[in-house]
Amino acid sequence: MAAFLARRLGFGLGLLFVVSMICFALIHAPGGDYADQAKAMALSQYGMGEDAAQAYAERLRTRLGLDRPLVVQYVRWVRNIVLEGDFGQSFVAGKPVAQIVGERLPYTLAIAVVCHLLATLIGASLGIFAAMQQHRIGDTAASVLAFLGMTVPRFVLALVILYWLAFVVGSSNIGSLHSSAYVLAPWSFGKLWDVVLHVWPVVLIAVFGGLAYNLRIMRSNLLDVMRQPFIEAARARGLSRTAVVLRHAVPNALHPLIMHQGVIMPYMISGELEVALILSIPTIGPLMFDSLIQQDVFVTSTILLMLSAVLVIGNLLADLALALLDPRIRNAG
């Protein structure tokens, strides 16, 4: 098992290296850089002439190291991460990228973990219920719910909730993570509840979309397992239908669901992009969108690298969970 985990960890680190190269190259693929954005701003907002704006852009490009070859920029960025833990400076904010991302990362991870747990627990439970009610009203209702969760765009749900909050309810909990009274206040139950009042639309929409996939996976795999011979043998022993499903069928149907959890966490982190943008919630999603628009290379690259790391860690945890659940995998490892 130790050798298996070490091998997977080595593959994960190699994957992060490859992903970092691809992300860095793709960010530069459209052409132009932050200096071009600064030149356009100088022309439109500061009233500079063409020559003065061009000279300003060239000085900025030299100061930020954007005049160097792309390979040199990438090697320098990776070297600083590995040797110094330095992810670079934000061109726009003039602050370390680690500080900018770190300000939003705890809230983003907390929201993503809550959405992940709720979507998994509710979706798996509804999947078990739907399988046990196959071709009945409960199965039909669960299938309709899954269909809506997978097809209705998130931004549509966000717009509906935004309209309801702004024009029907008149809520003030829009566009921030805290009310003004709790911005500088220490953490307490009141501050935590205040955060919940601000982010519940993000959680609701993410859970609604996530549980649909878990529901479909659990239902289809549980129905397949319930057709296996060992399930018939358990029924022949006189066990009740509920005992057969919960004690024998469900544990054997969890494997694909667990593997799905390894890839869904980055989706939960980045998938709230549309909702956070529409509701103006300051999480990682809007930060990544703004950095792409402004060509703030190091911020975008760091966020994409972080999402890749979450994917690798999620798959590693999924492998551990499978090994703990199934002794065949544990013994093979």
CB 288 within 8 A of CB 300: yes
Number of domains the chain contains: 2
Structural domain span for residue 213: 98-332
Q: State pLDDT tens for residues 81-119.
A: 888 888 888 888 888 888 998 888 888 888 888 888 898
Same structural domain for residues 193 and 248? Answer: yes
Q: State pLDDT tens for residues 305-321.
A: 888 888 788 777 777 77
Same structural domain for residues 70 and 129? Answer: no
Query: Does some domain include residue 49?
Result: yes
pLDDT attached to residue 210: 84
Same structural domain for residues 159 and 62? Answer: no
Give the count of beta carbons closer than 10 Å to the beta carbon of residue 75: 12
Same structural domain for residues 182 and 267? Answer: yes
| Residue 223 CB-half CA count within 13 A | 14
Overall pTM surpassing 0.75 (yes/no): yes
Query: Does some domain include residue 26?
Result: no
Closest by CA position to 301, among listed 314, 288, 316: 288
CA–CA distance, 297 with 73 (Å, rounded to integer): 10
Query: Does some domain include residue 48?
Result: yes
Same structural domain for residues 271 and 129? Answer: yes
Query: Does some domain include residue 6?
Result: no
Same structural domain for residues 106 and 65? Answer: no
pLDDT attached to residue 330: 61
pLDDT attached to residue 126: 92
Same structural domain for residues 80 and 102? Answer: no
Structure tokens at 232: 């018939």
CB 173 within 8 A of CB 197: yes
Same structural domain for residues 61 and 127? Answer: no
pLDDT attached to residue 141: 92
- pLDDT, one tens digit for every residue, the chain (333 residues): 667 677 777 887 888 888 888 888 877 766 677 787 787 777 777 667 777 888 888 888 888 888 888 888 888 888 888 888 888 888 888 888 889 988 888 888 888 888 888 988 999 999 999 988 888 898 899 989 988 988 888 888 888 988 898 888 887 777 778 887 887 788 888 888 888 888 888 888 888 888 888 898 899 999 898 888 888 888 888 878 888 888 888 888 888 888 777 777 666 666 567 788 888 888 888 888 888 888 888 888 888 888 888 878 877 777 777 777 766 666 665
